[in-house]
Amino acid sequence: MTDSAKPNPAKPKLSLVNRLLYGNVDRDAKGRARVGLAILAFACIYTIICGRLVYLASTSDAQGGRRGGGDIIATARPDIQDRNGEVLATDVRMPSLFGEPRRIIDVDEAVELLTATVPDLNANELRERLSSKRGFVWLKREITKEQQRQIHRLGIPGIGFRSENKRVYPNGPAVSHVIGHVNIDNQGIAGIEKWLDARGLADLHSLGFASDRQQEPVQLAVDLRVQHALRSELIAARTKYKAKAAAGLITDVNTGEIVSMVSVPDYDPNDPREALDKDRINRLTTGVFEMGSTFKALTVAMALDSGKITLGSSFDARHSLRYGKFSINDFHAQRRILTVPEIFTYSSNIGTARMALSLGVEHHKAFLKRMGQLDRLRTEIPESAEPLVPKRWGELNTVTIAFGHGLSVAPLQAVMGISALMNGGKLIPPTFLKRTEAEANELAKQVVRPETSDRMRYLMRLNAEKGSARKADVEGYYVGGKTGTAEKVVGGRYSKTKLLTSFTAVLPADKPRYLILIMLDEPQPLPETHGYATSGWNAVPVAGLVIGRVAPLLGIAPRFDLPPADRLILAATASTR
């Protein structure tokens, strides 16, 4: 049998679609078929989407699903804890009252019964909501269990309850400026709460993936015990010195952790409406201030780190420093040539200004830039202020900024810079979260030499032994520190009566672990302060009280019979070089 005689194998039958797309048909017909199929596929997809939207519009309201505006469901958030596991913020389940207007039989009767049971319901607003065409409306969020029972007994058709998450803060205002608060829908709108949402929690909520079981607690660096101690001392100080406000910070200089942060007056995050009061702002991150003589620590460190100026260098402070129409004077005028340690302990404006001028404007600007004082400081807390830096920076700016006027920074920013002067010269970004020293070292930038840091610790301790910080020298804790008194700018002019006083303490000065900032806004002179309202008479003694209370909580044991700074710090420094 020849091949031609063999029967042809049966060709598989092609479907109509396959024949049009792949069969041996006209190419134009094939193209039209493909376009038609694409149109059909898209039409099917859009039909499904439209059907789903119609379904959601008609059913999700009745089921209490998510809606825009104020009718979304408050979702779960993770607990926030302090460094020892104490709960700072948590969720509790609360009933909320809702209505389904399409099922309401008699709106007037429903309004009358509900307002009789829950008197703070607004009758007009309630009637308007229940008369709408919507499938679901909130009537009152977070009602009591007793109110829920009473309304349930009324048996009103179309009125129901949903169990929602309510954020509660068991410590009230104690940590308010750190943890922030949430709105009625449990969405973070300030502080760590807002940071949590920005870190993806809001997205998880919107997708419905955030549940109680999936969220691990967030642990902060804050120590609640220390926070309570600092806050109570600041409240007492604000009352005693009749200050407009008081604020304090305690940071670990080796990790950048913020162990405590208080700014009073504060607010109760359980009633966040108080946060709208402008006097209750967090002065440590949101406010910017001229920090006064606290800034002299940076200027002296700049001079020592340059290698051109040593502790043995001296500057002429016999006369006022005239610069144009301005005259720079010293509050504790000595009218003589001062060494660098004397400039620091007498807090000489003249000596500090001459020191900065000897290095030049560009050197000064570059150093402060390196110390993080000219750029906005970013932390986990979203509320932060941009420093106020002169647009045109000449020699007069360097003169005034050298002793803490003419440049406004957030106090936390100044603390970051001075911490670097104490910890061996490493600038570590501050954090409100727990962080190890190894993690901090990965982020650290070496901004001054370790030798400069040694000398600055010596000067800080010397100031507590002989200078303006003597009232903070708590026996056994080897405190060092620098005072700061700045005249506030009122109406474009420096006020002689409105002062911002501060004191920055290092603890212990020979082996720094913590930096403590105490700040009083417009403290008033008292008879016992002999009419003075400068830092040495208010912020410094307050720091002494704080150190006496928090040092044991921070695990710092008292030591006695410690030698003076020149023998303990300088001698040890010289022996290791």
Catalytic center residues? 293
CA-closest candidate to residue 389, choices 371, 409, 403: 409
**What is the per-residue burial (b if ≥16 Cβ within 10 Å, else e) of 544-558?**
bbbbbbbbeebebee
**What is the per-residue burial (b if ≥16 Cβ within 10 Å, else e) of 60-73?**
ebeebeebeeebbb
Could you give the CA distance from residue 197 to residue 174 in angstroms, rounded to a whole number?
Answer: 22
Could you give the CA distance from residue 512 to residue 485 in angstroms, rounded to a whole number?
Answer: 24
Residue 176 contacts residue 107 (beta carbons within 8 Å): no
Secondary structure letter of residue 249 according to DSSP: E
β-pairing, 321-323 vs 493-507, is unpaired
For 269, the token pair is 């995050």
CB-based contacts of 44, cutoff 8 Å, min separation 6? none
The distance in angstroms from the start CA to the end CA of the chain is: 108
Could you give the CA distance from residue 3 to residue 204 in angstroms, rounded to a whole number?
Answer: 70
Strand arrangement, sheet containing 245-252: 258-264, 245-252, 514-521, 493-507, 480-490
Could you give the CA distance from residue 185 to residue 180 in angstroms, rounded to a whole number?
Answer: 15
Element (H, E) at 458: helix 450-466
Q: Which residues pair with 190 in a beta bridge?
A: 181
